[in-house]
Amino acid sequence: MNINGKVWKYGANVDTDVIIPARYLNVSDPRELAKHCMEDIDAAFVREVRQGDVIVATTNFGCGSSREHAPLSIKASGVSCVVAKSFARIFYRNAINIGLPILECEEAIDMTDAGDVIEVDLASGRITNITKGRDFQAKPYPEFMLKIMAAGGLVEHTRAALAAR
């Protein structure tokens, strides 16, 4: 899958409370959640985000609460991919499990600004900043995770594993 979109850039330790505040967690419908995605850190996000856009952040993205509502709301808001220097571990698992592509790449983050247009080739992990004309290589996924992603998420992977038993 090829991704092409405008960059929303954030700093370190973007926590799941600002990605989707707890006051909205009395529902779990991703489209409802998406209406409030990132609102406590960036009020413009929900208004202006377009299908295919990319979130770029520095370290420890998605720290805090285990709420899967966070990656779900990001995905439902139209974001096609999150690229960060590092992810909090629960967020990382959740994103892979629900099929929100995420990539780790130090260099790309430092060289990318808000509003840049970037392209991502998920299969190879190649990230191209079209605006700046630069290429970067993300860390490869462990093979086990590639299998989950190829199956379409953890639930599909588990169904296939149970069927094979």
Partner 1 sequence: MTLAEKILAAHCGAKEVSPGDLVSVKADVVLANDITAPLALREFARIGVDKVFDPKRVVFVADHFVPNKDIKSAEQVKEIREFARHHGILWYDVGEMGIEHVLLPEQGIVLPGDVVVGADSHTCTYGALGAFATGMGSTDIAVAMATGEIWMKVPPTLRFVFDGRLQPWVSGKDLILYTIGQIGVDGALYASMEFAGRAIDRLDMAGRFTIANMAIEAGAKAGLFALDDKTMEYVRPRARREFVAYQADGDARYAGVFEYDASKIEPQISFPHLPSNTKPISAVGNVAIDQSIIGSCTNGRLEDLRVAAQVLKGRKVHRYVRCIIIPGTQTVYMQALREGLIEAFIEAGAAVSTPTCGPCLGGHMGIMAAGERAISTTNRNFVGRMGHVESEVYLSNPAIAAASAVLGRIGSPDELA
Q: Give the residue among 114, 112, 109, 134 at the shortest CA–CA distance from 58.
A: 109
Q: 11, 22, 115, 146: which one contacts partner 1 (CB under 8 A)?
A: 22
Binding status of residue 66 toward partner 1 by CB under 8 A: yes
Element (H, E) at 113: none
User: In the complex with partner 1, which residue's Cβ is closer, 97 or 131?
Assistant: 97
Mind giving me the DSSP string for 118-152?
Answer: EEEETTTTEEEETTTTEEEEPPPPPHHHHHHHHHT
Q: In the numeric block, which tokens belong to residue 152?
A: 């379409």
Binding status of residue 41 toward partner 1 by CB under 8 A: yes
**Residue 75 in contact with residue 100, Cβ under 8 Å?**
yes
Kindly give the pairing relationship between strand 102-104 and strand 117-121: unpaired
Q: 139, 144, 146, 150: which one contacts partner 1 (CB under 8 A)?
A: 144
Q: How far is the CB of 103 from partner 1 (least distance, A)?
A: 17
Binding status of residue 46 toward partner 1 by CB under 8 A: no
Q: 4, 6, 21, 119: which one contacts partner 1 (CB under 8 A)?
A: 21
Query: At how many degrees (to 10) do helices 89-98 and 143-151 cross?
Result: 40
Q: In the numeric block, which tokens belong to residue 74?
A: 């990001």
- Site map (CB under 8 A) of partner 1, residues 67-106, x = contact: xxx-xx-------------x-xxx--xx--xx--------
Binding status of residue 159 toward partner 1 by CB under 8 A: yes
Q: Any bridge partners for residue 2, and if so which?
A: 121
Q: 2, 25, 31, 113: which one contacts partner 1 (CB under 8 A)?
A: 25
Summarize as ranges the residues that interact with partner 1 (CB under 8 A).
13, 15, 17-18, 21-23, 25-28, 40-41, 59-60, 63-69, 71-72, 86, 88-90, 93-94, 97-98, 142, 144, 153-155, 158-159, 162
